[in-house]
Structure formats: C-alpha cells, structure tokens
C-alpha cells in the first residue's frame, strides 16, 4: 500500500493505473462499516483508493471539528489489511488552499439534515467533487446510512455528467442492531443501551409494512412508542428522490431517524 499526501503524488500514481478503480472516501476512524465498503471495492475493481480527510467545510460554526475522532495509525493498518493499493491522506491546505466554496448544493440539501445543518452539504459535495476529479474512479462506494448525502452525491454525478458509478452499500450494524458510526464511541454505557431503540423502531416499521400497513402516521406512532425514552429529532418518510411521502411505497421508500444523546446525533434509516 502506498500512502499519498500531496496532489502531485496522487496524480502521478493515477496516471500509471490502467483498469477499473474503486474509491472509498472517508473521514477516518474506520470501523466495520468502512471495511465493508473497502472490501466491496476490492472485490469489484483492479485498483483501490481510500481517502482519509476530515473535511472542515462540512462542519458548521459551533461544531467541534477538532473533536472529530482521528485514529491514523489504526486506519493505516486497517487499509493494509483490506489490501488497499493507495491511501490518500491530505491536509486542509492541500485540498483547499485559499479556495472558497465552488458549488452550491441543490434545494433538497436544505431539508432534514440540511435544515438542521444548513450549508453542511455544500462542504460535502465540494470535497467529494474534488476527490472525484483527482482519483477519477470507475466506482465510488458510499454507505446507505447517510442516505441524504448518498442521494445528493448521486444527483451531483448525474447533473455534472461525471463518469463515476456511485455504488450504494448496505448499513453495517452491531450485533444488537445499532448502526455503526464513528460517533458511537461518544455514547455512555446507558446511552449506548438506549440507542438500540432506534434500530428496533425501524424493524418495527418494517414488520408493519410486511403486514401491508402503509399508513405513515400509524407507523410513525408505533415507532415513537419504541423510542419513547429517546430525544428524537425527526422521523421522516421519503422516496428515493427524497420527496415526502403520503404513504409507504414498497420498493421506493426510506424511513429516516435522527436521535440525540446529549451532544451526539445518531442517524439511521431503513430502505423499504
């Protein structure tokens, strides 16, 4: 595995590569969810790039960029274990210099996560576009847990006629159902135990749909019963294009949840 830190190093490496390139962009603190993306990239491509970059432009004022978990040595070992060919680890100056935001996220970036964190997706799309331009991947792998982010990246690739194939990958969960996240380490033991109710509520929703219950208010009420002890920021029911649904459409619905545990926000969802 080669570790690259500059644009020149990455471009020189990319110019030598032939065949398909799989790319997994991350902010580090790698866990089994990231590993599943990397392994899929490894299985489907001749060359695999992973990037680790804690992107400052997607953090809003008041959000603690410096507190975001960083585990560089462990991350390097994980990438080696997963047989990554190139690991790109730039700093903020390398990625941005004096640049301002070059693109503006579409209107759907200001609902749900974007409503809570206005401007967040501007930063996400900018850094992903830069990375796509540098790595020029054949396939890029993103987890479904960040469903709104995934949808916006897919839309960006389509609107800008990018040749990359954006590959959605299933959520990886702990044995008790909690969706894997770099933020889980900030939960206390009690919060960690309570957080299981998030995935339980989604399984409850899926069970209701399997019994042909498609009424959103009925499903939402049952989910809230399961999460009665949680600080639920929102439950949303949208289709794959992130338009609000009147009722569940099987094969075209996503149920999204955000719950707060003190300063920690946990996201989860289920595609139905």
Task: Confirm whether residue 75 is marked as ligand binding.
Answer: no
- d(C-alpha 34, C-alpha 24), whole Å: 8
Helix (H) or strand (E) holding 231: strand 231-239
Task: Confirm whether residue 238 is marked as ligand binding.
Answer: no
Helices (H), the chain: 7-15, 32-44, 72-81, 92-96, 113-116, 120-135, 147-159, 189-210, 216-226
User: Would residue 34 show up in a list of annotated catalytic residues for this protein?
Assistant: yes
- d(C-alpha 241, C-alpha 239), whole Å: 5
Q: 3-class DSSP state for residue 176?
A: coil
Task: Confirm whether residue 107 is marked as ligand binding.
Answer: no
Q: CB under 8 Å to 215, separation ≥6 — which residues?
A: 247, 248
Task: Confirm whether residue 29 is marked as ligand binding.
Answer: yes
Active-site entry in 22, 25, 34, 153: 34
Task: Confirm whether residue 251 is marked as ligand binding.
Answer: no
Q: If phi over 0 gives left and psi between -120 and 50 gives alpha, with beta otherwise, what is residue 97?
A: left
Task: Confirm whether residue 201 is marked as ligand binding.
Answer: no
Task: Confirm whether residue 144 is marked as ligand binding.
Answer: yes
Task: Confirm whether residue 21 is marked as ligand binding.
Answer: no
- d(C-alpha 105, C-alpha 123), whole Å: 9
Task: Confirm whether residue 33 is marked as ligand binding.
Answer: yes
Task: Confirm whether residue 99 is marked as ligand binding.
Answer: no
Q: Of 4, 74, 1, nearest to 34 (Cα)?
A: 74
Task: Confirm whether residue 143 is marked as ligand binding.
Answer: yes
Task: Confirm whether residue 87 is marked as ligand binding.
Answer: no
List residues forming the annotated binding site for ATP.
27-34, 143-146, 172, 180-183
Residues identified as active-site: 34
List residues forming the annotated binding site.
27-34, 58, 143-146, 149, 172, 180-183
């Amino acid at each position: 595995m080669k570790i690259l830190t500059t644009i020149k190093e990455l471009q020189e490496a990319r110019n030598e590569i032939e065949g398909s390139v799989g790319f997994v962009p991350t902010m580090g603190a790698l866990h089994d969810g990231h590993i599943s993306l990397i392994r899929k990239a490894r299985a489907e491509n001749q060359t695999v790039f992973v990037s680790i970059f804690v992107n400052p432009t997607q953090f809003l004022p008041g959000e603690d960029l410096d507190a975001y978990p960083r585990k560089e040595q462990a991350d390097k070992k994980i990438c080696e274990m997963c047989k990554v060919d190139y690991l790109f680890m730039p700093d903020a100056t390398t990625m941005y210099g004096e640049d301002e935001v070059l693109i503006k996220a579409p209107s759907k970036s200001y609902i749900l996560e974007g409503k809570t964190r206005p401007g967040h997706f501007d930063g996400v799309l900018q850094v992903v576009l830069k990375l796509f331009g540098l790595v020029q991947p054949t396939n890029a792998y993103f987890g479904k847990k960040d469903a709104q982010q995934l949808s916006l990246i897919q839309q960006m690739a389509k609107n800008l006629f990018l040749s990359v194939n954006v590959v959605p990958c299933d959520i990886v969960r702990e044995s008790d159902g909690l969706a894997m996240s770099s933020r889980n380490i900030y939960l206390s033991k009690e919060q960690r135990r309570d957080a299981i109710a998030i995935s339980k509520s989604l399984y409850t929703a899926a069970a209701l749909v399997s019994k042909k219950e498609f009424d959103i208010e009925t499903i939402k009420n049952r989910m809230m019963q399961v999460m009665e002890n949680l600080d639920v920021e929102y439950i949303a029911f949208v289709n794959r294009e992130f338009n609000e649904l009147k009722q569940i459409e099987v094969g075209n619905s996503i149920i999204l949840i955000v719950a707060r545990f003190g300063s920690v926000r946990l996201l989860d969802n289920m595609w139905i």
